[in-house]
Amino acid sequence: MTYETVIGLEVHLQLSTATKLFCGCPAKFGAPPNSQTCPVCLGLPGVLPVLNERALEWGIRVALAFDCEIAQVMKFDRKQYFYPDLPKGYQISQYDQPLAQHGHLDLEAAGRAQRVRIRRIHLEEDAGKLLHEASQTQTCVDFNRTGVPLLEIVSEPDLRSPEDAYQYLVELKAVIEYLDVSTCNMEEGSLRCDTNISLRPAGEPALGSKVEVKNLNSFRAVKLALEHEARRQAIALDRGERLPQETRLWDAKGLKTEPMRSKEEAADYRYFPEPDLVPFVIDPSLVARARETLPELPAQRRQRYQEAYRLSGYDAQVLSQHRAFGELFEGALRAGAAPKPVANWIMGDLSAHLNARGLSPESVKLRPVWLAHLVQLVEAGTISGKMAKDVFAAMLERLVDPLQLVEEGGLKQIVDAEALERIAEAVLEANPKSVADYRKGKTNVLTYLMGQAMKQSQGKANPQQIAELLKRRLEQVTS
Amino acid sequence: MTVVTPEIVRQVALLARLRLEGQALAQLAAQLDEILQYIQQLQAVKTDSVEPTSHVLPLSNVLRKDEPGACLSQETVLALAPATQRPFVTVPKVLET
């Protein structure tokens, strides 16, 4: 039978405020375990939580960017459950009077416009972090994360394919990056995503049984898990089985979802109003001011790039995906370069460079004026297109103006096999842990080792050659 | 009228992670029921003209600046916990997230 896939997403976003949601502990990621806590976030008796003003302001900004209605009055509630990551025995969240409701996010995937409704956005506190790997018999708890501000963004079940869900996340992340309120880093957990998925016979208006899929730690994992889950449900429905409403966990190694065993008792959170936090009346003038100070958002930028610079929809889409790309692009234009060649460098060589090294666009230290100079050098015929690629790579590695690079008399790449061997050897010797990791199957450490080799050679090592040398040495069986 | 049954006590105890069995269930059911009936007297108050409210204080919008304050030291935090393995607090193995 043909089924329609129905997907809704719940995104948890850590706000990058300086302090936690209800106390003055720093909310910084990566501090030594259990060094950023206080009586309030540990839930010791007799303490009083007080809301972080900036978390509320940023929550309003995000809600406005999704065109939500902001509550006139909002309050907090206690969501009660026992788990070792929750020292108080309840999470302060919002139940029936959330910060905002009824918004939407417009997507443009493969030239097709789509509106995804946002059901609600609310503020809540994060839980602590549990580490299971360290011991066979114990679970370790780090309470630094306890109380860090989270914004939960819940979509309506408007998505119809795993690919659409992926696009929704990409666009959502872009919007948040433009607002500059979260690092949106799934690996560090500052952006987390749970999904709900059900199937129904094509044309059927009623929704099927909803399966919640958790444990998704990348956008790719979201897509893969949803694809798997849609297939699994279709097979079961074809057999005439009835699917239970349940929570399943994504197994990233086995590429499948597994039912979560521990939920024998249906969750009973017994929400009630948080007595320690009085209600919040949100002043319409505060909302109006926040609306006025919203930056240009990705969708608006996409449209402007197409209209002002005659870029294709695809080019405009890629350039507006990351705020840093847009800034680089427009900066280079201000420095006198033509739009299309600048767009091509960003979408081509720069993106490839970032992908190969697993870097984020925000980490790029490239100055827009350098990019403009590069484009101008090619246009003036000073360097060939092929040379320009080398100049671009050198510019990224050494962070210098292409004018200077060309003046220096070109790029002296190290291609000498012996010299490269020495570099490879030195890098592997200096990084025994990475070498061991690689041999245990963590082959992505190669990227790191490559980076080290490039650093050591001041960016002059021939990347392909050095990669091959490193790989060959890593794959040699040690005696 | 009995509201709290031993079955309800069992369920609430489970949610509160309390181990209650046999005799205790019936005993607590009766006691909790008495407490609820005592509170039930409030139902006699006429509230037709009273706005529902979640808080009784004439206060709203209590906020603080996003400025860091003092934290407890790791040592202090670990000393509060019944079991630790520096720098962590430890609990019996939790199998699932």
- pLDDT tens figures, A67-120: 999 999 999 999 998 889 999 999 999 999 999 999 999 987 666 789 999 999
Nearest to A174 by CA among A159, A191, A161: A191
- Hey, are the CB atoms on A55 and B96 less than 8 Å from each other? no
CA trace torsion A399, A404, A405, A408 (10° rounding): -130
Parts of chain B with a pLDDT under 50: 97
Residues in chain A predicted with pLDDT less than 70, given as ranges, are 109-111, 261-267, 384, 409-416, 458-462, 477-479
**Of the partner residues A26, A84, A141, the one whose CB lies closest to the CB of residue B68:** A26
Instruction: Take residue A371 and report the two structure tokens written for it.
Output: 């990019």
A residues 60..119 contacting B (CB < 8 A): 75, 80-84
Tens digit of pLDDT for each residue in A219-276?
999 999 999 999 999 999 999 888 888 889 999 888 999 888 655 455 688 899 999 9
Residues A109 and A237: their CA atoms lie apart, in Å, by 29
Please tell me which residue of chain A has the smallest CA distance to B79. Answer: A34
pLDDT score, position A387: 77
Does the beta carbon of B44 lie under 8 angstroms from any beta carbon of chain A? no
The residue in chain A having the minimum alpha-carbon distance to the alpha carbon of residue B58 is A278
Please tell me the distance in Å from B91's CA to the nearest CA on chain A: 5
Per cent of chain A over pLDDT 90 is: 56
Rounded Cα distance between A303 and A317, Å, is: 9
CB contact under 8 A, A138 and B66: no
Residues 235-274 of A with CB under 8 A from B: 249, 260-262, 265, 268, 270, 273
Put simply, whether B68 touches A (Cβ < 8 Å) is: yes
Measured torsion, CA atoms of residues A162, A168, A174, A178, in degrees rounded to the nearest 10: -160
Q: Count of CB contacts below 8 A, A vs B?
A: 143
Closest-CA residue of chain B to A28: B68
**Number of other CB atoms surrounding residue A455 within 10 Å:** 12
Judge whether B76 is closer than 8 Å to chain A, CB to CB: no
A270: tokens are: 């017994």
Q: What is the ipTM of this complex?
A: 0.88
Using alpha carbons, select from A391, A406, A411 the residue that is nearest to residue A457: A411
| B14: nearest Cα among A267, A456, A21 | A267
Residues of B in contact with A53 (CB under 8 A): 63-66
Q: What is the pLDDT of residue A132?
A: 84
* Partner-chain contact A141 B91, CB within 8 Å: yes
- CATH 1.10.10.410 for domain A417-475, yes or no, is yes
Domain with CATH 1.10.10.410 in chain A: 417-475
Residue spans per domain, chain B? 6-44
With the C-alpha atoms ordered A390, A391, A392, A397, is the resulting torsion angle positive or negative? positive
CB neighbours (10 Å) of residue A271? 15
